[in-house]
Amino acid sequence: MSEFDPKSPELHELASLPSGDPRRRGFEENLSAATPEELRFWQSVLRETDRIHSGLQNIELPPELQKRLMELPESVNGAARWKNSQKMRWSFPRLAVPVAALLLLAVGGYFYLFSAPRIATLTDSFAESIADQAVQFHEQNTPVQVAGTNIQTVQTELNQNKVPFPVVVLQPTGKLDLVGGGVCNISGTPAVYTRWKTGGQSDTLYQFDGRKIGVPALFYRRMEVPTSLWHGSHHYRVVIWPGDSGACTWALVLETESAKDMFSRAVY
> Is residue 8 scored above 50 in pLDDT?
yes
pLDDT tens figures, 15-60: 888 888 888 888 888 887 888 878 888 888 888 888 777 766 666 6
Residue 102 confidence (pLDDT): 52
Q: What is the largest CA-CA distance in the chain?
A: 83
For residue 210, the 8-state DSSP code is G
Task: Tell me which residue of 182, 102, 104, 199 sits closest to 143, measured CA to CA.
Answer: 182
Q: Rounded to 10 degrees, what is the CA torsion of 39, 44, 45, 47?
A: 120
Question: What's the pLDDT score for residue 56?
Answer: 67
Q: Which pLDDT belongs to residue 161? A: 87
Check residues 5 and 241 and name the one with the higher pLDDT.
241
d(CA 152, CA 136): 27
Phi-psi region of 24 (alpha: psi -120 to 50; beta: other; left: phi over 0): alpha
Model confidence at 147: pLDDT above 90: yes
What phi and psi, each to the nearest 5 degrees, are found at residue 99? -65, -45
pTM exceeds 0.85: no
Q: 129-150 burial string, b = 16+ CB within 10 Å, else e? A: bbbbbbbebbeeeeebebebee
Strand residues in 132-259 grouped as ranges (E): 146-147, 177-186, 189-198, 201-208, 222-224, 237-242, 249-254
Q: Which is higher by pLDDT, 86 or 116?
A: 116
Mean pLDDT of 106-132: 72
Mind listing the pLDDT tens digit for each residue in 72-85? 654 444 444 444 54
Burial 48-72 (b: 16+ CB within 10 A, else e): ebbeebbeeeeeeeeeeeeeebeeb
pLDDT at 12 over 90: no
Question: How high is the mean pLDDT of the chain?
Answer: 81
Report the SS3 class of residue 186.
strand
Give the CA count within 13 Å in the CB-facing half-sphere of 191: 26
pLDDT of the residue at 79: 45
Q: What is the mean pLDDT of the segment spanning 133-162?
A: 95
Q: Could you read off the pLDDT of 205-217 as tens digits, one per residue?
A: 999 999 999 999 9
Rounded Cα–Cα distance for residues 250 and 148 (Å): 21
9: how many CB neighbours lie within 10 A of its CB?
Answer: 8
